[in-house]
Amino acid sequence: MSESLALKTRSEERLRKFESLTESLPAKRAEVRGDFVRDGERERDKIEAAAQAAAAKLERETVRTLEQEVVKARETVRDEVVERALALATERLTKRLTPAAHRALIRGYIADLEALESLGGFRG
């Protein structure tokens, strides 16, 4: 009988232990769930911060690229305007320049070169 009593006592102790464990399961479950939620929130915050940093970098790079493109476009437009102005001026001068005026321009250029040479500023 003492063996039965010992077996009964051990069984009751095991039952109390299991009952204690099953009673604490909801609290443990809530604790683990809370840990997962907090971990998920931290990971979400890290992802959001990385995304915001990437977006800010992309915005800065886009602004810089656009500014460079504006400068390049202005230079292109300026160059085209200068080329067109020179072409138009050349066309108009060619139409209006008489042979006598052309010879006078050439003589004046030569005279300017000779004057420069006499001053020692031109070595040809």
Domain limits of the chain?
A: 2-118
Residue 122 predicted with pLDDT over 70 = no
H runs (alpha helix) in the chain: 2-96, 99-118
- Is 124 in a helix, a strand, or coil? coil
Are the beta carbons of 124 and 117 closer than 8 angstroms?
yes
Cα–Cα distance measured from residue 123 to residue 29, given in angstroms and rounded to the nearest whole number? 98
- Residue 7 has which token pair? 């077996």
- The model's pTM: 0.49
User: Tens digits of per-residue pLDDT, 88-119?
Assistant: 999 998 888 888 988 998 999 999 998 988 88
pLDDT digits (tens, 9 = 90+) for 34-71: 999 999 999 999 999 999 999 999 999 999 999 999 99
